[in-house]
């Protein structure tokens, strides 16, 4: 708790303490809502992509409020790459398992009762795999663009100053 209080009060990184406090409270709501959209995407509008975008937005606002170092401490570039690849691999494995049952992405799981979480066969599994992939991919893209944007900004400053720093 003491470390978090220090992060909130540190004005050198990220935004003001008001924004950091609000983000701290809103993060849990965003993550729960994103997980809900991923898990119940076969019953309600949403699914893996929409839920993944919502989950990635939680990491984006964490990065904007607290700075890149704290966000990379929660999910590093390597972890984002591994999760991205695992999500794609899980999606392909689900499709291949369906192929072994007769056709690519054939529903090989028993159907349950209507309007229950486990009622759609492989669709919730596909939504989870896509949600993991989209979350990790969008976070990695955001981090890469923030690093690249800072590099372009520095290069523009060097060119405007005549090549002298």
Q: What is the pLDDT along the chain (165 residues), one digit of tens a residue?
A: 456 566 666 666 677 888 888 998 999 999 999 999 998 887 777 788 999 999 999 999 998 888 888 888 888 888 889 999 999 999 999 988 888 877 777 887 777 777 666 677 888 888 999 999 999 999 999 988 877 766 665 656 555 665 555
Question: What DSSP element (H or E) covers 8?
Answer: helix 2-9
Read off the pTM.
Answer: 0.77
Distance between CA 96 and CA 117 in Å, rounded?
23
DSSP-derived letter for residue 44 is S
Structure tokens at 155: 């290069």
If you compute the radius of gyration of the chain from its CA atoms, what whole number of angstroms results?
A: 20
């Amino acid at each position: 708790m003491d470390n978090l209080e220090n992060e909130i009060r540190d004005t050198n990184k990220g935004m003001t303490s008001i924004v950091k406090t609000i983000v701290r409270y809103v993060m849990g709501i965003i993550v729960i809502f994103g997980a809900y959209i991923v898990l119940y995407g076969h019953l309600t509008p949403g699914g893996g992509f929409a839920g993944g975008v919502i989950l990635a937005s939680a990491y984006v606002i964490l990065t904007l409020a607290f700075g890149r170092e704290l966000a990379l401490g929660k999910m590093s570039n390597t972890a984002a790459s591994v999760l991205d690849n695992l999500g794609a691999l899980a999606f392909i494995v689900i499709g291949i398992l369906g192929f072994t049952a007769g056709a690519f992405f054939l529903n090989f799981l028993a159907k349950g009762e209507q309007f229950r979480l486990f009622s759609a066969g492989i669709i919730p599994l596909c939504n989870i795999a896509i949600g993991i992939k989209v979350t990790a991919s969008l976070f990695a893209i955001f981090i890469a663009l923030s690093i690249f944007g800072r590099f372009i900004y520095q290069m523009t400053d060097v060119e405007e100053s005549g090549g002298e720093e």
